[in-house]
């Protein structure tokens, strides 16, 4: 049985597409070649942010094109980059303090805690919660709570006070990683061994192996617990 087709509108032009397609696949079905704004196609990279309306509904909706299935009467516009506020800063000249965070993103303190950002997040992150942590100046907690953020910008698209939630999150992650995260002794030791050339001979041997030999080595490797 042939699949039913539905009408959608891409940049104002009407197309008939199969009803089971995602927005991204529908764009390609309609003949669009996606060079930018397509990314991983698995809902992880955040590159395919999409604004759409549905006929008869005056509201704007936001989604990832690789995840959202088309609807009849859908009007589509792609936004591979969302123009949210992006502060300029030099990480090496900053301190991991609430004052530094508020100075870099002063609008942060105007957050209403409405939860619109949480509702739209494709990763189902509690964006409202980590924004509340940011308003308290808890940089480490924000870094942990926003770890899975994919920087799609949909939270900023829905914010009534024009916050740049995902940019605030990545600043906290950078400050945490640079200044607050505990140092890994194991990592420091391994870096020292690499710099001293401990693995040079092993790397030369691996580069001389064929593909099948490499697969065998990989399958037989000892995995650390």
Q: How many percent of the chain have pLDDT more than 90?
A: 66
3-state DSSP assignment of residue 217: helix
Per-residue model confidence (pLDDT) at position 80: 65
- pLDDT-derived band at 150, boundaries 50, 70, 90: confident
- Do residues 124 and 175 both lie within one domain? yes
136 has a pLDDT exceeding 60: yes
Distance set, CA 187 to CA 41, 105, 195 (Å): 33, 33, 12
Q: Which domain holds residue 132?
A: 91-180
**pLDDT tier at 41 (50, 70, 90 boundaries)?**
confident
On whether residue 186 sits in a domain, the answer given is no
Are 162 and 101 part of one and the same domain?
Answer: yes
101 and 173 part of one domain: yes
Which of 46, 78, 110 terminates a domain? The answer is 78
For the chain, the domain total comes to 3
Give helix 165-175 / helix 127-135 axis angle, nearest 10°: 60
**Cα dist. 35→9, 19, 47 in Å?**
20, 24, 11
Which residue in the block uniquely carries the two structure tokens 């597409």? 17
Q: What is the pLDDT of residue 1?
A: 56
| 166-225 residue pLDDT tens | 999 999 999 999 999 998 889 899 999 999 999 999 999 999 999 999 999 999 988 766
Domain assignment of residue 10, yes or no: yes
Rounded Cα–Cα distance for residues 67 and 69 (Å): 7
Q: What are phi and psi of 54, to 5 degrees?
A: -115, 135
How many Cβ atoms are within 10 Å of 114's Cβ, its own excluded? 13
Rounded alpha-carbon distances, angstroms, from residue 42 to 15, 18, 66: 24, 20, 7
Separation of alpha carbons 56 and 35, rounded Å: 31
CB 24 within 8 A of CB 69: no
Token pair listed for 132: 């509340």
Same domain, 73 and 123: no
Is residue 46 a part of any domain in this protein? Answer: yes
Residues 207, 126 within the same domain? no
In the chain the beta strands, taken as DSSP E runs, fall at 5-10, 13-18, 49-54, 57-64, 74-78
In a domain, 176, yes or no: yes
pLDDT in tens, 22-39: 999 999 999 998 887 788
Query: Which residue would you say has higher pLDDT here, 3 or 207?
Result: 207
Does one domain contain both 126 and 168?
yes
Q: How many residues does the chain have?
A: 225
Residue 102: predicted pLDDT: 97
DSSP bridge partners of 10: 13, 76
Beta bridge partners of 64: 49
Which of 34, 52, 78 delimits the end of a domain? Answer: 78
Q: Does some domain include residue 185? A: no
54-109 pLDDT, tens per residue? 988 888 888 889 999 999 999 988 776 677 888 999 999 999 999 999 999 999 99
Is 224 a member of any domain?
Answer: no
Tell me, what CATH number does 19's domain have?
A: 3.10.20.740
- Do 37 and 58 reside in the same domain of the chain? yes
Q: What was the pLDDT predicted at 224?
A: 67
Structure tokens at 57: 């509904």
Do 24 and 103 belong to one domain? no
Average pLDDT value for the chain: 91
Backbone angles phi, psi at 17, to 5 degrees: -135, 155
């Amino acid at each position: 049985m042939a699949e039913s087709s539905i009408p959608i509108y891409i940049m104002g032009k009407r197309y008939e597409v199969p009803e089971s397609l995602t927005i991204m696949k529908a764009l390609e079905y309609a003949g669009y070649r996606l060079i930018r704004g397509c990314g991983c196609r698995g809902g992880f990279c955040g590159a395919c942010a999409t604004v759409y309306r549905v006929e008869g509904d005056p509201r704007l909706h936001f989604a990832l094109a690789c995840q959202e299935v088309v609807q009849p009467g859908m009007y589509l516009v792609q936004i591979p980059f969302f123009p949210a506020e992006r502060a300029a800063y030099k990480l090496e000249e900053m301190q991991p303090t609430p004052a530094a965070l508020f100075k870099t993103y002063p609008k942060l303190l105007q957050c209403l805690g409405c939860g619109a950002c949480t509702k739209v997040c494709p990763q189902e992150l509690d964006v409202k919660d980590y924004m509340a942590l940011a308003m308290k100046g808890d940089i480490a907690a924000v870094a942990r709570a926003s770890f899975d953020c994919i920087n799609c910008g949909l939270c900023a698209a829905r914010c009534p006070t024009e916050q740049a939630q995902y940019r605030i999150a990545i600043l906290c992650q950078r400050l945490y990683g640079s200044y607050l995260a505990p140092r890994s002794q194991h990592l420091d030791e391994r870096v020292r061994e690499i710099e001293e050339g401990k693995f040079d001979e092993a790397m030369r041997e691996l580069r001389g192996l064929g593909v099948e030999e490499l697969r065998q080595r990989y399958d037989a490797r000892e995995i650390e617990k």
